[in-house]
Structure 1
């Protein structure tokens, strides 16, 4: 079994989900008392979010690159960023280490292609939806990518940062997000990407008429395939 290197803390809720899913996945695949071999470096969310808001991406990259080097030194065989938004500096992190980075955008795109979906919608933080670093990576796999109307970005951002990262899962917010998904379906989306780990706490496949691609779940499954393969 390979050792999985995790860069977490963005938020701790999402990192906890990664850790739990990786260990449950190993237990399900191998049985008995088996668990995942992991190394995690957890950054301070308030600090890195402030740098993001200041557009100081060199500083963000430096922090995450050092986190990546630390788990590499600790024996990790490959690396995962437990976040979507901060894949903005994934190339810099990859360049700072000698182990592979399992890029979330590639994992999600491959899952959509396998389901024969041609057009996907991305739900995530305001930053992830308003920039192209993640949608462009997905589009490299031959997919058409759309995002909700800009009028919805602030509300979705509020749900993520004011509720979900604090563990608050509200039915009213679920209805709001499901309504956004319906609009995207009407606009031609054949599937929806939950491009923020915390959104998987809120929306399930049963809530949507189109395929739902949960970033954390897919990322974990790809990591398990690599670690156990």
Structure 2
């Protein structure tokens, strides 16, 4: 079994889901008392959020690269960044270490392609929805057509993530906002919708909508378990 390195804490609520999902999936595959080998390096999200707001992605890249180096020194076999948004600095992190970085967009795209979806909706932080580091990867490397919500809806999605979900607040009225946005994406032709922020799954579940939801937190965790255990099968 390989050892998984996780850069987490962005936010810790979604990192807790990663830990739970990875260990549950490991037990499903191996049975008994088996659990995953994990080294978690968790940052202070207040510092990360401040730098995001300031647009200081250079400093953010340096912070996450330093965490990746610590994980490499701890002899993990590969690394996850346990958040969608911070994959904006994924190349900086990968270039800082010799071990592989398992990219969340790649894991998600492969699952979408496997299930034969081509036109997909995307909801996440403003950074992920409006910049090209994530969506462009989906489009150029996997041939997906990605649509995003209106500007006002993007504002609402971003606000709910940072002011509620990252603080562990799960509000029914915010869920209704998300449901309405997802339904609009479906009406615009989305065959599936990517939950492109690891906290969104705390609020919006498949039972709330009819269009298929792709939970990036679970998908990324599953990809990590597949990588960790592939030499055993």
TM range (shorter): over 0.9
Structure 2 SS opposite 1:4? strand
Q: How far apart are the structure 2 equivalents of 1:153 and 1:143? A: 20
Aligned ranges 1:73-84 → 2 under 5 Å: 73-84=73-84
1:153: how far off? Answer: 1.4
Q: By how many angstroms is 1:75 displaced? A: 1.2
- Aligned partner of 2:181 in structure 1 is 180
By how many angstroms is 1:192 displaced?
0.2
Q: Post-superposition shift, 1:106? A: 0.6
What displacement does 1:161 show? 1.2
Deviation at 1:90, TM superposition (A): 0.2
Q: CA deviation at 1:103?
A: 0.4
Q: Distance in 1 between matches of 2:51 and 2:168?
A: 23
Alignment partner of 1:130 is 2:117: no
Task: Provide the residue aligned with 1:115 in structure 2.
Answer: 115
Calculate the aligned-residue CA RMSD, in Å.
0.9
SS of match in other structure, 1:206: helix
Distance in 2 of aligned mates of 1:211 and 1:142? 19
1:164 positional shift: 1.0
Find the counterpart in structure 1 of residue 3 from structure 2: 3
Can you give the 5+ residue segments of structure 2 that lack an aligned partner in the other structure?
Answer: none
Pair 1:69-2:94 in alignment:
no
Q: Which residue of 2 aligns with 1:13?
A: 13
* Alignment match, 1:158: 159
Alignment of 1:19-34 (within 5 A): 19-34=19-34
SS of the equivalent of 2:199 reads helix
Offset of residue 56 of structure 1: 1.3
> Normalised by the size of structure 2, how large is the TM-score?
0.96
